[in-house]
Structure 1
Amino acid sequence: MKKNSMLLTIISALLLILTACGSDKDGGKESTGTNGGEKPSFDVDFLSILTGGTQGTYYPLGGTFADLITTETGVKTTAEVSQASAANMTALQKGEGEIAFVQTDIAYYATEGTLMFEGQKIDSVSALGALYPETVQLVTLANSGIKSYEDLIGKKVSVGAPGSGTYANAEQLLEIHGLTMSDIRPQNLDFGESTDGIQSGQIDAAFITAGYPTGAVESLNATNGVYIIPVEADKAEALIAKYPYYAKDAIPAGTYGLTEEVPAVSVGAMLAVKKDLPEDLVYAMAKAIYDNTDKISHAKGAFIKAESGLDGIGIEVHPGAQKYFDEVNN
């Protein structure tokens, strides 16, 4: 009897150990995030955030978002340099990334298959959330003599890559001022190349669509005083009437050393994701970003809020993100 009792005791102990090990392995829980609580496991090992050039706003914010997602979900996430909005939508469609920064207008064109996406409709991408206004900044030097859109005629002007968000913005703003690409000498440069070109005298002005303060423009202003060409109220209103995804904006005095506020227009910046990402993962990603906006050091972090996370989005919202915003805004 004693031997049987001892054997039963040993077997029971072994079963308890095996049960505990199985629970640790399959319970789906890992270490806690900074918000407290346990992080669920996901069937995704790695995420890539497609941003833009290193001197824009997307790239530094992308690095912060990657850190937040990694910390809060346990899924290793990195920010990648890219050609920004239009290229990012195409890259998501091709499976070259899982998350991407994109302008709200470009996301709409892509999912509708219009303008630069004519015949190339993007159908595998949905929205994670809105971020902040992206101001269309027409930059030149303070001593260039260029003070208005009309002064651009015959000048070398960077308009971004063909098919890019910046290119579309440049084309539409020129149009509303009675100009076309034929009236200027368009140059297809990224933000860093644009400001380098202005500094060296190779070009006269550049369209830069990004959240201010934009790194490339700050760098230019550090060596040469910059001037931002204004969009007057009547032109802004005409632009918005034709292209309603624009909004009136203003670059505050003090930005880039400006002595007074400059009227401008903006579109929205947003995050897009692959539709096939798991709902629980996208929910966790949205929560990681919008619950931790106090950890965003960039000036645009002040605009990123859960309560405005669906503002200006004209494409389908991922169910995981929709679940998050429904919870926090209801």
Structure 2
Amino acid sequence: MKCRFCKVSIVTIAIIFLSFLIAYQFVEPPPPKEISMATGREGGGYYKSSLQYQKQLAAQGFHLEIQPTAGSIEVLQKLKSGEASIGLVQGGTAKEVEGLQSLASLFYEPVWVFHRKDQPIKYLFDLRGKRIAVGENGSGTKPLAIQLLSFNHVTPDNSNFLNLSSRKAAAKLAAGEIDAAFFVTSPKAGIITELLSNPAIELLNFRRHLAYSSRYPFLTHIEIGEGMIDLENNIPANNKILLAATASLVVRQDLHSDLIPLLLRSLIKVHKNGGMLEQQDQFPSNRFVEFPMNSTAEHYLVSGPSFLEKIFPFWLATSIDRLKILLIPLIAILLPLFKGFLPIYTFTIRRKIFRWYELLREIDEQIHKFSEVNIIDEKIERLKFLQKELIEQVSVPLSHMGEFYGLRMHIKLVLERLQERRDELV
């Protein structure tokens, strides 16, 4: 019986092992330990943010490789070519690039339009015919500035568009060599403070901000209050309404899915407290994005981390989540197998007992036909050997002891009948 039980156990274990082996073929490989990120120029706001992400990811055992660029257009090019997996992208720069998704918008970036005070400019269409710095090639400022100017019928055909970096544009505006300049940057940028402090330069107040934000979903409006930039020197001197784009984290569609919650966890730690323009817990957000939202990211932003991520470290939570597919053989194969194991085992034991009974019946039915003593002695020896084997070598579960003792009594009964037949012949 023990041997029979071993055979059943071996088959069961083999089926279990094979089931898990097949299911494991569908387990997604673990995420890479290094991620490449395209960002802005070194020293800029995007670059500083990426350094904070790098620190957060390093605490989880991941390395963030930072690739500085001239701006959002170059970032998108790197994402499209596969040189980078994730990138910080300014609102208003989205192109027809397939295979990219948004993880979240992160913070506001005001659109600053500075002009010389000797130029009477109240609306963007007043810039027609002027010398305008619209941002350098590869930056996110240029496509956004051109969109806004085009909306006001200010084009390269009737005006002079200049592709200048922020630093060059600020210098030329201060020197009177250009009439206006666009900047899309943080209010903490040194260039902004310098221009606001220059008495010959004025910041455009966007009176028609609702018209712009209704036409361009990636835009909203913010108010820069009096003294907000520099309270001691009262900069700016008056309240100003500005348009604002949002910086978003954009990823390649083929980015490993386990990296999504890891990145969002880092983004939340960096941006949840807000800033000069953002309220606490306002960002990261699924608003003001231009690329389609990643479904995992959207669920994370709405529902928060999963149960596993709340109680386990990231590496363990993702490992458990990836291995959940192994529950399929457990449910589909193992449970029915375990459910059927006991009946199979019971049948195996009973089958062995029934085989002994078959031998016993065969002898019992032939007792009255035996006419030679030596044949009877042979049958007696055979049953005594079986009786000894049952006592010394066979182990039966408690649930089958009734059948076991019944067999032993019936062997004894047949032995008595054989002995009686032998006595008759002698």
| Same fold at TM > 0.5 | yes
Answering whether residue 154 of structure 2 is matched by residue 179 of structure 1, we say: yes
Gaps of 5+ in 2: 1-28, 307-426
In structure 2, C-alpha distance between the alignment counterparts of 1:293 and 1:212, rounded to whole Å: 16
Which position in structure 2 is the counterpart of 1:24? none
C-alpha displacement of 1:200: 3.9
The C-alpha deviation readout for 1:100-123, integer Å capped at 9, x for no partner, is: 11124333xx2xx2xxxxxxxx22
Instruction: Determine which structure has the larger strand proportion and give its number.
Output: 1
In structure 1, C-alpha distance between the alignment counterparts of 2:199 and 2:63, rounded to whole Å: 40
Answering whether residue 48 of structure 2 is matched by residue 60 of structure 1, we say: yes
Amino acid in the other structure paired with 1:123: E
C-alpha displacement of 1:319: 4.4
**Contact 1:306/1:325 (<8 A) preserved:** no
**Contact 2:105/2:287 (<8 A) preserved:** yes
C-alpha displacement of 1:186: 1.0
In structure 1, C-alpha distance between the alignment counterparts of 2:68 and 2:138, rounded to whole Å: 18
Alignment match of 2:213 (pick from 240, 244, 251): 240
Note closer, same or farther for the CA distance 1:308–1:96 as it changes in structure 2 (3 Å cut).
Answer: closer
Instruction: Report SS of the residue matched to 1:181.
Output: coil
C-alpha displacement of 1:307: 6.4
Instruction: Determine which structure has the larger helix proportion and give its number.
Output: 2
Instruction: Report SS of the residue matched to 1:101.
Output: strand
C-alpha displacement of 1:140: 3.3
C-alpha displacement of 1:55: 5.9
Note closer, same or farther for the CA distance 1:197–1:47 as it changes in structure 2 (3 Å cut).
Answer: farther
C-alpha displacement of 1:187: 0.7
Task: Give the TM-score normalised by the residue count of structure 1.
Answer: 0.70
Alignment match of 1:191 (pick from 166, 174, 186): 166
Answering whether residue 124 of structure 2 is matched by residue 128 of structure 1, we say: no
Amino acid in the other structure paired with 2:140: G
The C-alpha deviation readout for 1:276-325, integer Å capped at 9, x for no partner, is: 221112211111220343688x646x457376511122433334423432
In structure 2, C-alpha distance between the alignment counterparts of 1:140 and 1:268, rounded to whole Å: 23
The C-alpha deviation readout for 1:63-90, integer Å capped at 9, x for no partner, is: 222222222x221114332122222112
Which aligned pairs between 1:276-315 and structure 2 lie closer than 5 A? 276-293=254-271, 299=276, 302-303=278-279, 305=281, 309-315=285-291
Task: Give the TM-score normalised by the residue count of structure 2.
Answer: 0.56
Answering whether residue 178 of structure 2 is matched by residue 203 of structure 1, we say: yes
Answering whether residue 85 of structure 2 is matched by residue 77 of structure 1, we say: no
Which position in structure 2 is the counterpart of 1:253? 226
Amino acid in the other structure paired with 1:285: L
C-alpha displacement of 1:176: 3.8
Amino acid in the other structure paired with 2:72: S
C-alpha displacement of 1:163: 6.9
Note closer, same or farther for the CA distance 1:215–1:54 as it changes in structure 2 (3 Å cut).
Answer: farther
Which position in structure 1 is the counterpart of 2:303? 327
Greater RCO, 1 or 2 (C-alpha within 8 Å, sep 6+) = 1
In structure 2, C-alpha distance between the alignment counterparts of 1:246 and 1:261, rounded to whole Å: 19
In structure 1, C-alpha distance between the alignment counterparts of 2:76 and 2:115, rounded to whole Å: 30
Answering whether residue 317 of structure 2 is matched by residue 317 of structure 1, we say: no
Which position in structure 1 is the counterpart of 2:243? 265
In structure 2, C-alpha distance between the alignment counterparts of 1:103 and 1:261, rounded to whole Å: 25
Which aligned pairs between 1:79-98 and structure 2 lie closer than 5 A? 79-98=66-85
**Contact 1:49/1:98 (<8 A) preserved:** yes
Q: How many residues align?
A: 272
In structure 2, C-alpha distance between the alignment counterparts of 1:213 and 1:271, rounded to whole Å: 21
Note closer, same or farther for the CA distance 1:65–1:224 as it changes in structure 2 (3 Å cut).
Answer: farther
In structure 2, C-alpha distance between the alignment counterparts of 1:96 and 1:127, rounded to whole Å: 18
More off after superposition, 203-212 vs 93-102: 203-212
Which aligned pairs between 1:223-234 and structure 2 lie closer than 5 A? 226-233=201-208
In structure 1, C-alpha distance between the alignment counterparts of 2:54 and 2:200, rounded to whole Å: 34
Which position in structure 2 is the counterpart of 1:100? 87
Note closer, same or farther for the CA distance 1:98–1:156 as it changes in structure 2 (3 Å cut).
Answer: same
In structure 1, C-alpha distance between the alignment counterparts of 2:173 and 2:109, rounded to whole Å: 21
**Contact 1:52/1:83 (<8 A) preserved:** yes
C-alpha displacement of 1:96: 1.7
C-alpha displacement of 1:47: 2.3
**Contact 2:136/2:142 (<8 A) preserved:** yes
Q: Considering only aligned residues, what root-mean-square deviation do their CA atoms show, in Å?
A: 3.1
In structure 1, C-alpha distance between the alignment counterparts of 2:190 and 2:114, rounded to whole Å: 13
Instruction: Report SS of the residue matched to 1:313.
Output: coil
Bigger Rg, structure 1 or 2: 2
**Contact 1:85/1:103 (<8 A) preserved:** yes
Gaps of 5+ in 1: 1-40, 114-121
C-alpha displacement of 1:127: 1.3
C-alpha displacement of 1:264: 1.9
In structure 2, C-alpha distance between the alignment counterparts of 1:291 and 1:129, rounded to whole Å: 13
C-alpha displacement of 1:166: 2.0
In structure 1, C-alpha distance between the alignment counterparts of 2:42 and 2:121, rounded to whole Å: 28
**Contact 2:108/2:246 (<8 A) preserved:** yes
C-alpha displacement of 1:219: 4.4
